Structures are given as structure tokens and as C-alpha cells.
A and B are shown apart, each in its own frame.
Chain A
Amino acid sequence: MDLELDADQLELRDHARAFLADACPPSLVRGVYEGTGTADGLWKSMVDLGWPALGIDVADDGLGQGFIAEAVLVGELGRVVAPTPYLATVTQLAPMLAEAGAHDVLARIAAGTCTGTLAVHETTAKASRHITAQAIPIGGGRRVLDGTKTHVLDGATADEVAVVVRGGPDDERGLGIVLVPREAFDAEPLIVIDPTMPLATLHLDGIEVDADRVLIEPGSPEAGWRIGLVQAHATVAMAISCVATCRAILEATVEYAKQRHQFGRPIGSFQAIKHRLADLYLAVERADALAWYAACTIAEQDRSGHAPMAAHMAKAAAGDCQRLATRDGLQLHGGIGFTWENDLHFLLKRAVTTAFLFGDAASHRVQLAQCRGLEA
């Protein structure tokens, strides 16, 4: 097993980093935070560079570079808190479309003419693992939806939403996926701590879905397993993003500890500070190694059953790492990090957001234990 980027992937990373240094400076993020600017131009540039197409198969009009390349971009976007539809469109909707063989919409994503997201969570965040939304058959292969999804990333702006549903009111009916266009439902934007990761509640009651928009037939063979793989894909991407943001917090904090002098010496020369930063580095490396391992299981389409477990480990570790990064990043910056004028809080809020979406650390540990047959 080789968990280092190869030469091409490193080159992609360096190009992306250089591009984003210009195209997504902290001032752009601040504009989004303060409502004085948008990141529309950034997304357009990313489309021009072919980024949405990068990981999509050639057969679906993509560039066929695979998930590792995609994850490299996810990480770079996370480092700079980029406010773009990339994460939801490319790592949530696109893999669902690929799993379902929905060529046309995938091709639109590759072309940059369609954005999207995946709606999983319901009512309370902690209930996210239990799906109650339904798609009830009404004849002719059509279905009518019943239910509400919440905490949907880009839910108020995405062109297409893949919704995880049950086949009916009965709990035993299997899970499935329907694809709903933006204009079909009411979306209620939530006021969130990180406006670069906009969330919305989607009211789906009474929406009728044509047969060709049922991406995965509820209760069809392996439907739950296939949806699980796509969720693993989205979860791993979220973990990669979270860890990249945490690494940026670590780097900013190390830099600050070198610059800031008290008692006639840099605060970073005090062992109390050093050991906290060493522990944070350890947490970042631990989470990063697990995230890239999990990314390999996604990239190699490992259907041995390890991909979901790897995703649970990756997201749990990302959450652990976020907890330390947020706490120590803010604490060690002292008062300056507490001010709105300093850019640190963009990173802190993005780290928490990506740690909590698609399952926090505790949730993924419970799911990992269940994979191991351990249940309380």
C-alpha cells in the first residue's frame, strides 16, 4: 500500500494551490462572509479549468482522472475555505449519478452547466442515519415524495438534488434514490455559522417524480449497499476537506507561535506550546493518513466491504482532529484569533462544518463498531 501522492498528483496539487492563492484569497472569503461579494467568478474559473470534469469517467464526458485527483482538489479548496459548489456537486451528486448510470446529468456536471447535492439528513442532525422520507409509487413507475430533508449542502442553490428515500411508509421497505430538480421544491436556507458552506431545509411533500428520475429503485437488489458506497465517497471527501482545513489551522498557528514574542522569546519556544502543537500535528497526520487510505478504497472501487469501514475511520479521525485544531488553533492565537478582522475564524468554522456534516466522530465510531458486530 502506497499512501503518497504520485508525481502527477503532486503537480496537480501544486497547480491548484498556486491557482487558488490568486483566485481565492482570504478577501474573497471575507466578501462572502460579509455579504459584499460572491465567489461566482471562482466557480467559473474552476469550470474553465475543467475541475468538475476531472474525476468523472471519460464515458460520461469527464476527464477520467479518478477520485484521488478529485480529492486533491477537495483538499486544496478546503485549505482556502473556497466557497464553491464543488464539494456537493462533484463528491456528493456525481458519484450517485455514476452509480446509477445517469449519463446525461453527469455530462452536464462535467461541462460545468449543472450543480447538485445529496440530501440525506432529516429533522435533527443526530437522526441522520435513520431515513423516513418516502417515495411512494403512484403507477407508471412514478412516485410521490413525502418528507423533509435538512442540512443539505447548497440545498437552496443546487440545480439537481439526489434524495435518499424509502420505498414507502413501512420501515422495512428498502432505501432508494430519486433525483429532483431545483424548481420542483421549496428550499429554506438556514442561517449558518459558515456561509461558505450554505445549508438548507428541503420540503419535499407532494413532489411527483417521473420514472426516469428514480436513480436507484427503492428496495432493488443491493440498493442499500450501493447507496452506502456513494455515502462513503461523499463522507471521505468531507474528511479530506476537513483535514486539509485543519492542516491550514495548524500551519497558521505554528507560524503565529514563531512570530509572536512574549517574555523576550517566541511563544513557540515554550514547551507548553510545542507539545500542544506536536499533538495537533499528530492528530492531523493520523486523520490525513486514514483519509487518504479511505480515498484509495474509493478510487480503486474496492467492493470488498472495506470502503465503508475506511470511511468511518477517516471521518471519525477527521472529527477528532478538528476538535483539537479548533480548540488549540484559537487558544494559541490568543486574543487576535478571537477578532473578526483576523482570517483564522474562516478556517475554524469550516473545520467544524465539515467535521459535523455527514456524521461526526462519535457517529462514525458507532457505525464502525456496528461493522465489527459490536452493539450496545
Chain B
Amino acid sequence: MRLQFDDSVEAFRAELLEWLALNRPSAETMAADPSVSTGHAPEWARRWTRTMFDAGWLVPGWPPELGGRNATPTQTLVYLEELAKAGVPRTTNVQGLGIVAPSIIDYGSEAQIRDYAMRILRGEATACLGMSEPDAGSDLAALRTRAVRDGDHFVVDGQKVWTSGANYADFCFVFCRTDPDVPKHKGISILIVDMDSPGITVRPLPEIVHPEHPDLNEVFFDGVQVPADHLVGELNAGWAMANGSLAHERGMVWVSAVQGISEAMAHLHEEAPDRIDALPPDERALAIDRITQVEIDAFAARCLGYRAFAKLARGGSAPEQALMKLFTSETRQAVAEVAAALQGPDALVVGGASFDGHQAIDEPQGTWLEQYFVSFANTISAGTSEIQRTIIAERVLGLPREPRPA
């Protein structure tokens, strides 16, 4: 139990910061050609991914041949923190680098690793993740997109929704039903599907804020032929891999989430004195108290993250991932809500160029009210807050599961 890291970690941090200062894309470069979807990698982003890969800074915990340097978990934590502080995205294709590539490396064939995972790591391709369907959201295992084996192909029919980045991605990691006659968890497989395959239609779903930059999509599969060797891992073993995929997603996602909260909180503190002065005197104490409540949440999020990390680093399992997902997403929402309320009717005034289109960065963008609406992306996606509460109750507290309907 201590406040500081040891010297070797600080030396790692210094090396990273020195390298970043020399090699990072400038804010101007990024702003001139923004990534407008998590499947979109502009030229600078592709070069940046390749630069990080070559220098062993893309996934520091991996070996050099996978773009890493065999960094320790603590070093990886410092790396994610410093990158978030610097305002440089590791990648614009978060689900590609964060979930799809690691899953292919864990479960895929050598050819799949070479042709898909490595291309993500070198900045040559982007990927999207085809999980949710219209009738399979929180109940993901209810998914119905069918993949039927036909000779050396699978034929895929069905529909995905909320597919981030599908409007730009090069390929999709598609969760399909391959056996409809067994319990729902036991008949799911994963296919790698090239997004330019005949029979795929992508329909972007403009969002409630900044509809000009849609990231979410519906993806329709109509008799799409997928080579049989694009099956990832074993047939009908997709559910276990789904849990593995989400573990990748949730492992250290909190680092950038916490950094985003800290930055939002810092902005709120900058604005607060003037905003409070502008309030009628009898409203000031209440406003200050609301700010202070979210300040405590913001700092607690960081402390909780470090603690979950310490448990993980000592080899414990980390059921705290559900807690971190729940707490960081709700805290981020609360900060935006408090800040918008502090603005009063000024919060209603939007517009201007405050939103640069970057989808991949947790840093606050847009007005407070826009940030508030955008924050629901994180309390709804990747397991809603309600699902996280159920997970905490059942897996952390050990409460009995709800009886399943027959």
C-alpha cells in the first residue's frame, strides 16, 4: 500500500514520454483529418499505428513481434495513462486493436493471425465487432444471425445492429448461430467476414448528438459467402470466446475512462468559480455541493481502478471490472450532468467546432449537454449499467441467479 511506483516504472514512463514527444502525431495533424468513426483510420492514424508497432509501443505487454516490449502489467498501466494524458489515441479502431486482434491471436489460426490480426497491428486494416442484434442486446446469447456450412463456405444470413465502425471497417468479427438445436450458448461460432463481401449492406444509424458522424450501424447479411477457414477457433465454441473478447475489452478500459473523467472534472473546476459567481447567492452552496460530490466520485474512480489493478497484478481475478465499468460510466455521466446544470440555459446553446469528430478518444468533446447525451453510449453499450449490477450481485456478492423462464 503506497502512493508511488518504484523507480523501474518511473524509468519506463520517462522513456515513453521521451519517445512520444519525438514521434506522436501533432494535434494539428489529427484535427486536419479526423477519424469520424471507430472503423475509420485516416492516413495519419495508419502511420501512427505502424510507428508504434515498429517501436514496440503498440501493445507494450506483448512481445516485439506483436508490437510490444514484454512490459509488465504495471508498465502497461502507466503507458495507457500517459497516452490518455497526452491526448494521443493508441488507435482510432478501438475494437479492432482492443478486442478483435487479441481474440484472433488467442483463438485464431496462423493464417488468420497473419492476414487479419497482424494487419490491424500494422495499421493496414480496421475491424468491427458483430455482436448485438435487434433481439439480442443484453441477452447476447439469443443472437440469430445464421451461418450454414455449404461445402468450403459458410453462408451467413441475418442482421447485426449497434455495430461500431462497420461503415468504414475492412472486416467484421461476426458472432453467428451455427447450431440452432442446442441451448443458445452452445450453438454460437465466430467468423471473420470481409466487409466488401457480396450480400453485405451497411446502414449507418446517426446518433442523437452529431448525426453527421455516425459510428453505429446496422449490418445486413444476405447469403454472404464466407470461406470455411474464416471460422475462428472451434465450431460452436463462440460463447466462451465472447466472454474472452469482452474480458479484453474490460481489462484496462478503465484507464482511459478514468482519465476522461479527470479531464472533464478539471474543465468543470476551471469553469466553476465564474459560474458560481453568476448564480444567485442562495443557490451557490447547492451548486458547490453537487460539484464536490462528482469530484469525490471522480477521484474514487481512479482509486478503485488502481485497486482493481493491484488485485489483478497479484494474480487475483478481477470481478471489479463490472464495478469499474458501472462506476466510471455513471460518474462520467454525472460530471456532464452537473456541469450542464451549472450552466443553466447556456447549456442549451450548442454549435461551433467544439466537436472534432474523433470517436476513439475518451477526452471530453462538445458542450456539457452534448457530453451528457454522448455519455449514455457507455452506460448502455458493452453491458448496460443494469446488467453490470446483476453481474456484481451474482458474481461478486454470490446472490442466487434469477430463475430462468422455462
Contact = CB atoms under 8 A, between A and B. Distances in A.
A319 to B, nearest CB: 11
Tell which of A275, A285, A287, A313 has the most Cβ of chain B within 10 Å. A285
A262 interface: no
Contact of B2 (A1, A313, A362, A368): A1
A299 interface: yes
Nearest to A5: B1
B307 A4 contact: yes
Contacts, number: 149
B299 A376 contact: no
Interface stretch (B44-52, B172-180, B387-395): B387-395
B315 to A, nearest CB: 12
A278 interface: yes
A268 B288 contact: no
A282 B327 contact: yes
A49 interface: no
A293 B296 CA distance: 12
Interface stretch (B115-123, B154-162, B217-225, B268-276): B268-276
A289 B303 CA distance: 6
B82 to A, nearest CB: 15
B5 A1 contact: yes
Contacts of A274: 389-390, 393-394, 397, 399
A9 interface: yes
Interface in A320-376: 362, 365-366, 368-369, 372-376
B15 interface: no
Contact of A269 (B5, B276, B291, B399): B399
A273 B389 CA distance: 11
Interface string B370-406: 0000000000000000101110111011111111000
Contacts of B392: 278, 281-282
Given A1-B2, A257-B399, A289 B389 contact: no
Contacts of B400: 258, 265-266, 268-269
A51 to B, nearest CB: 19
Given A279-B389, A289-B307, A368 B292 contact: yes
Q: Is the interface of A mostly helix, strand, loop or mixed?
A: helix
Contacts of A285: 304, 320, 323
Contact of A365 (B284, B289, B307): B289
A3 interface: yes
Contacts of B197: none
Given A1-B4, A277-B399, A300-B3, A368 B393 contact: no
B396 A281 contact: yes
Contact of A292 (B1, B288, B289, B297): B1
B230 to A, nearest CB: 39
A3 B303 CA distance: 7
Interface in A35-90: 68
B306 A3 contact: yes
A316 interface: yes
A313 B398 contact: no
Contacts of A6: 1
A299 B3 CA distance: 10
A184 B328 CA distance: 53
Contact of B1 (A296, A365, A366): A296
B330 to A, nearest CB: 9
A268 B290 CA distance: 33
A266 to B, nearest CB: 5
Tell which of B273, B288, B402 has the most Cβ of chain A within 10 Å. B288
B258 to A, nearest CB: 12
Contact of A373 (B273, B296, B310, B403): B273
A2 interface: yes
A284 B400 CA distance: 21
A82 B3 CA distance: 30
Contacts of B4: 1
A-B pairs with lowest CB-CB distance, top 8 = A274-B393, A289-B303, A4-B310, A376-B285, A376-B284, A278-B389, A268-B399, A278-B392
Interface of B: 1-5, 269, 272-273, 276, 281, 284-285, 288-289, 291-293, 295-297, 299-300, 303-304, 306-307, 310-311, 314, 320, 323, 326-327, 386, 388-390, 392-394, 396-403
16 contacts: A1-B3, A3-B1, A4-B307, A269-B400, A277-B393, A277-B399, A278-B397, A285-B304, A289-B307, A365-B296, A366-B292, A369-B288, A372-B269, A374-B272, A374-B276, A376-B284
